[in-house]
Amino acid sequence: MTVALTPAEVKQWRRSERERLIALRLQQAADLRSQWTDKIAAALFSLLKEAKGPVSFYWPFKGEPDLRPMMRELAGASVQLALPVVVVKGQPMQFRPWAPRCKMVPGIWNIPVPDTAETVVPAILLAPVVGFDPRGFRLGYGGGYFDRTLAQLHGDRQVFGIGYDCLEIPTIHPQGYDIPMTMIVTQSGRVVN
């Protein structure tokens, strides 16, 4: 049974859950994370190699699966890639085209972003998760950036959550603004469809 929480309780609960899950992720041995990442990348590659539109990735931090080797491989296979950029705090993100060796500059939290004014509209968005639930809801870093961005990206876009199995929780206590992901790819396979 899901216990209904007030919005203020949800906010507080998410804050502590985020902290716990980020610590849990960083506690996993680096070689284990990298084995899991190889499995995630293998599953993703078959989903992405035929992508018709731009695919947005992420520049990994805090123990997120490092998919940069696959970014280079897909770029070589002529898939158009992009990275999310927080241009204005509290506003939807932009996506800038990325290619191997393109110039990068530090963005929010010093995460590198492409140094260009060009933007693209992704058809597939990879969303790294801090946590996820079996209904496909995502817990992120608490900025609300993915939900805000998805709310204004209409049409045929798909969102693939990316994370490790140990980040699954029974519910994220979804609120009206939370938008479920199309599926979540973990080292053991797809969690939601």
Ligand X SMILES: Nc1nc2c(c(=O)[nH]1)N(C=O)[C@@H](CNc1ccc(C(=O)N[C@@H](CCC(=O)O)C(=O)O)cc1)CN2
Ligand Y SMILES: Nc1ncnc2c1ncn2[C@@H]1O[C@H](COP(=O)(O)OP(=O)(O)OP(=O)(O)O)[C@@H](O)[C@H]1O
Binding of residue 104 to ligand X (CB under 6 A): no
Q: Do the beta carbons of residue 54 and residue 95 sit within 8 Å? A: yes
- Among 37, 44, 54, 58, indicate the residue that binds ligand X (CB under 6 A): 58
Q: How far apart are CA 134 and CA 19, in angstroms?
A: 20
Binding site for ligand Y (CB under 6 A): 14, 138-148, 151, 177-178
In terms of residues, how long is the chain?
193
Binding of residue 121 to ligand X (CB under 6 A): no
Nearest approach, Cβ of 100 to ligand Y (angstroms)? 26
Reading phi first (left if > 0) and then psi (alpha if -120 to 50, else beta), residue 95 is in beta
> Smaller CB distance to ligand Y: residue 102 or 179?
179
Q: How far apart are CA 124 and CA 56, in angstroms?
A: 6
3-state secondary structure of 98: strand
> Smaller CB distance to ligand Y: residue 148 or 190?
148
What is the helix, strand, coil percentage profile of the chain, to 5?
Answer: 30, 20, 50
> Smaller CB distance to ligand Y: residue 68 or 148?
148
> Smaller CB distance to ligand X: residue 52 or 119?
119
Size of interface with ligand X, in residues (CB under 6 A): 19
Q: How far apart are CA 116 and CA 98, in angstroms?
A: 9
Residues 129-188 contacting ligand X, CB under 6 A: 140-143, 145-146
Nearest approach, Cβ of 61 to ligand X (angstroms)? 5
Residue 109 binds which entry of ligand Y, ligand X, none, CB below 5-8 Å type-dependent: ligand X
Binding of residue 84 to ligand X (CB under 6 A): yes
